[in-house]
Each structure stands twice: as structure tokens, then as C-alpha cells.
Amino acid sequence: MKNYFKRFSFAELVKGITPKTVLEGAIKLFEKNVRWFVFSILFILTGYCVYFWYFFIYQSHWNETRKAEYAKTKERGAIFNENRFNSVVEETKRRKESYEKGVEGWEDVFKLKK
């Protein structure tokens, strides 16, 4: 059995490697496999998002004080201003009546009717 590694010289191999050749090789590799790179980035990003979704939704552990504080903020309810509500209803009724009245009583500015 022949030993093919006797003529292998690491020093000669390193001599031919320059930053320019490394960059050119990396660009060629990326151009050939751009679909796989994009797919792998999307796959990793999806996994990352699913992990955080699971962690923050299903693994959220609140202590009792934090639960009580959250419940306290939700007990406030809505503040109903009846006077403002009635004024809005009246304004809506006034607009509806104005719309239903029509334009018969208004002056014909463009003189469309002859």
C-alpha cells in the first residue's frame, strides 16, 4: 500500500492561501448554494421564533404578587361619561335629520337648475 501523504506539505498548502482566494472561494460557494443558505437562515429564524413563542406563552411563571398586581390593573373597568354619550347621540340625530332634509331649500350656487 502506497503512502500518498508523504508528498503532502502543509507549508506549501498554506503558501497558496491568501485572503483574496479565500474570499473568492466563499463567494463562489455562496453563489452555488444561495437557495440552501436562505432556506437554512429561514429555518433557524423560524425555530428561534417558535422557541420564544413557546417560552413566553406556555412557560410563563408569575409569582402571586405579580398575579395580584395584574388582576388589580384589570379591575378598574371603563369609565362611562353619560353626558358625553348623550351629546354624541344628539349630534348623530342632528346629522341624520340634516341628511334626510335634502338640498331643496339651499341656494343653487352653480345654477344647475334652469
Tens-place pLDDT, residues 6-36? 666 777 767 778 888 889 988 998 899 899 9
Residue 7 CA to residue 77 CA, distance in Å, equals 84
Residue 67 CA to residue 81 CA, distance in Å, equals 30
pTM of the model: 0.38
- Give the model's pLDDT for residue 3: 65
* Packing angle of the helix pair 19-32, 34-58 (nearest 10 deg): 80
**Burial label, 110 (beta-carbon count in 10 A; 0-12, 13-18, 19+):** exposed
| Tally of helices (H runs) and strands (E runs) in the chain | 5, 0
Residue 88 CA to residue 81 CA, distance in Å, equals 11
Handedness of CA 84, 90, 95, 96 (dihedral sign): positive
The answer, yes or no, to whether residue 43 has pLDDT greater than 80, is: yes
Residue 78 CA to residue 85 CA, distance in Å, equals 13
